[in-house]
Structure 1
């Protein structure tokens, strides 16, 4: 059944030497002409994957046309339950998917925590009952669909590399999200290195996100100039450790990037994310197709 569904999803097209699809992303290594999946929206929502972005205040979802990295139907949003236990969230997912009766494809889900083989291993900003939960199995059983769970920052980062600010960029790209915490995604030549959790680096004796996340700026009433100094320290540390080709900065505050990014003094190019609140949903859908393609 899984193979049949994948073949329906992946309609091959000819391409010329621009790489191949790996476990979590497109490799940008040049090669001979090959066939790759088009991820096309062929007129039926049932034919394409569905992305769900599980956040602290809202759960958003939509079917996604992976040819363009766009929603194939208008996105729906449901308030995150309180407490947001795995079982309560699973009920919301069933409700959300029920709003798209024509959608029967596989489902990608983002979770704000470390995810390995479908099991959640951390819960820094979600209910502690998530730790040890086999989320892949829980959501598959609840929805009756093929479900793959991925770290939220990883999904957003992969989407930015595939469709957004880092599209077409080779080498190491580091995508960060500045919000309640600092999420991170490492993507090397289009392939995701999952669960980097670079917001938890210790810098000057502090957890980095406790000093440099947007929530720290708001909590302490920092000016953009003062906050940019902290961001400079953070990104210089990442620069020293990884020597990336590009930093992409996401999160809601990235809409105001012109007020602080020019003040971040580093050598590496640093740009704002472009997918904004679409990144999680689009990235989740992309990840589930790649998981099924293995």
Structure 2
């Protein structure tokens, strides 16, 4: 469903492997209006349970969220509102018309997008990649590794750099933030792992700018100095709120 008149505000919901976050976004400024709310992602991340949690998040936003359209970012390949993969969530999402399901249940205009793509859109419109020429690669380091490609500010959707192969597994199993936490890996050792990831990405795609988002982007001093790239590498301006802001901004398209 698409809006004929662009709204001034929208809700962004970020569905992650461990937590679901939401906020009201000023679409002119690209900034949260008030505080964001968070609820742990339900175990197994079944569609019906995620939908109920999304409903609770909207209720927690209160009167500021009344009747606003909703953008949802999700850790999967998303085409035309249909989720086509299931990384760190239930396989029931594969082939699901998420736009339709959420739209009918919440009674709102709904716009689903890949979570890293949403973060990339936020940084292209309102953050570190604004007015950036050439290829920007946004990476989100969290439960997995998400990626967004932006060429002259235009999104090339559904890239999956976290699933590049490394020792027979997706590289996110080796270099994501959750891999560091799972193995209690020191920050300098994790930086060395990220160095291998970013060096390989640069070899393949020669980006002009690399933007790092996800929860760890609030602590760049702990890992970023240990990474050397040809392209400038910076943290996302909106840190871990990029997904919320980018998802909400979809209602403008």
Q: Same fold (TM over 0.5)?
A: yes
> 1:212: how far off?
1.4
> 1:205: how far off?
4.2
> 1:204: how far off?
4.9
Question: Match for residue 188 of structure 1?
Answer: 151
2:249 maps to 1:249: no
2:67 maps to 1:104: yes
Residue from 80, 90, 108 that aligns with 2:51: 90
> 1:8: how far off?
5.0
Deviating more after overlay: 180-189 vs 269-278: 269-278
> 1:140: how far off?
0.6
Is the 1:170–1:190 Cα contact (8 Å) retained in structure 2?
A: yes
Is the 2:138–2:211 Cα contact (8 Å) retained in structure 1?
A: yes
Which protein has the larger Cα radius of gyration, Structure 1 or Structure 2?
1
In 2, the alpha carbon distance for the partners of 1:75 and 1:263 equals 31
Is the 1:6–1:289 Cα contact (8 Å) retained in structure 2?
A: no
Q: 1:80 to 1:211 in 2, by over 3 A?
A: closer
2:10 maps to 1:6: no
5+ residue gaps in structure 2?
none
| Equivalence map 1:206-225=2 (5 Å) | 206-225=169-188
In 1, the alpha carbon distance for the partners of 2:181 and 2:50 equals 28
In 2, the alpha carbon distance for the partners of 1:116 and 1:250 equals 23
Question: Match for residue 67 of structure 1?
Answer: 28
| Equivalence map 1:171-186=2 (5 Å) | 171-186=134-149
Question: Match for residue 57 of structure 1?
Answer: 18
Is the 1:203–1:234 Cα contact (8 Å) retained in structure 2?
A: no
Partner-residue secondary structure (3-state), 2:96: coil
Number of equivalences:
251
Q: 1:91 to 1:215 in 2, by over 3 A?
A: closer
Is the 2:128–2:237 Cα contact (8 Å) retained in structure 1?
A: yes
Question: Match for residue 242 of structure 2?
Answer: 279
Residue from 200, 205, 213 that aligns with 2:163: 200
Residue from 230, 246, 258 that aligns with 2:221: 258
> 1:130: how far off?
1.2
Taking structure 2 as the reference length, the TM-score comes to 0.91
In 2, the alpha carbon distance for the partners of 1:285 and 1:89 equals 18
2:132 maps to 1:134: no
Question: Match for residue 193 of structure 2?
Answer: 230
5+ residue gaps in structure 1?
10-40, 42-47
User: What whole-Å deviation, never above 9, does each CA across 1:205-243 have from its counterpart, x for those lacking one?
Assistant: 442112111222233333333222221221111111111
Question: Match for residue 81 of structure 1?
Answer: 42
Q: 1:171 to 1:81 in 2, by over 3 A?
A: same
Is the 1:120–1:133 Cα contact (8 Å) retained in structure 2?
A: yes
| C-alpha RMSD of the superposition | 1.9
In 2, the alpha carbon distance for the partners of 1:250 and 1:150 equals 17
Partner-residue secondary structure (3-state), 1:74: strand
User: What whole-Å deviation, never above 9, does each CA across 1:124-174 have from its counterpart, x for those lacking one?
Assistant: 201121112110000011011110100111101111122122222121100
